Amino acid sequence: MSRVVLATFWNGMVGMWERNELPFDFHRRSKWINASQFYKLLVEPLDIADYYRMEKHREKGHYIENGRERRYRVFDRWWRERSKGKKSSSKRNNFAGLTQDSCFWARVEEVKESVEMAKKETEPMKLGAVLERISKFEKYAGELIESKEVSRDVLAANSSYSKWLQEWTALKPRFQQLINNSKS
């Protein structure tokens, strides 16, 4: 219920901003940028979980392209504009309290489906494209983990990510062998 109330509030704020009913620099004020970013990092993973739990991805497609609310895209734009020219030189010593990519879990769901596709794919060209997507995510996730931009729950033993990584680590040598065989 709180997610619905907060979504209504933020949709209203974005609407007012787009209709120029708020101060011209509203989207540049730290108070609102930080509040919207915190909201996005906290609530969007819950929206993603709900999207996949309700199996909306089967009828609409994956969350990032087909299910993501416009307000989150607006908040991303505000955050990027705020961060332009600012280079963070400080390294994290501890894992983030909230995963800094609010769409991380949607990316995990997409890559899980890619692994299932790879298991079934017989055409080398299509398999290569699927494996490239998986490899890009593996690299991206590794960089997030190394820079501690994820919360500890990402690395929990039974998290979707840990289960995917375990499955992918076991399957990867088989796919490498298939790729090498198709090249020779």
> pLDDT tens track of the chain, all 184 residues?
699 999 999 999 999 999 999 998 998 999 999 999 999 999 999 999 999 999 999 999 999 999 999 999 999 999 999 877 666 657 888 999 999 999 999 999 999 999 999 999 888 888 889 999 999 999 999 999 999 999 999 999 999 999 999 999 999 998 877 666 655 5
Q: Which of 53, 84, 115 is the last residue of a domain?
A: 84
Q: What is the pLDDT of residue 89?
A: 59
2 and 79 share a domain? yes
109 and 147 share a domain? yes
5 and 74 share a domain? yes
- Asked if the structure places residue 90 within a domain, the reply is no
- Name 117's Cβ contacts closer than 8 Å, sequence gap at least 6: 130
Overall domain count for the chain: 2
Q: Which of 84, 115, 144 is the last residue of a domain?
A: 84
- Asked if the structure places residue 35 within a domain, the reply is yes
- Asked if the structure places residue 139 within a domain, the reply is yes
- Asked if the structure places residue 26 within a domain, the reply is yes
Tokens of 163: 């289960």
121 and 52 share a domain? no
- Asked if the structure places residue 134 within a domain, the reply is yes
142 and 173 share a domain? yes
Give the start-end residues of each E strand in 27-162: none
Q: Which one, of 139, 159, 156, 136, lies nearest residue 147 by Cα? A: 139
Q: What is the pLDDT of residue 78?
A: 94
Helix (H/G/I), strand (E/B), else coil: 94: coil
Q: What is the pLDDT of residue 179?
A: 62
- Asked if the structure places residue 144 within a domain, the reply is yes
- Asked if the structure places residue 89 within a domain, the reply is no
49 and 16 share a domain? yes
31 and 1 share a domain? yes
Question: What are the backbone dihedrals phi and psi of residue 143, each rounded to the nearest 5 degrees, phi first?
Answer: -65, -40
Distance from C-alpha of 114 to C-alpha of 124, rounded to nearest angstrom: 15
10 and 79 share a domain? yes
Distance from C-alpha of 14 to C-alpha of 19, rounded to nearest angstrom: 9
125 and 166 share a domain? yes
Domain that holds residue 171: 97-183
- Asked if the structure places residue 91 within a domain, the reply is no
Q: Which of 49, 84, 119 is the last residue of a domain?
A: 84
23 and 76 share a domain? yes
6 and 75 share a domain? yes
Residue recorded with tokens 């909201």: 39
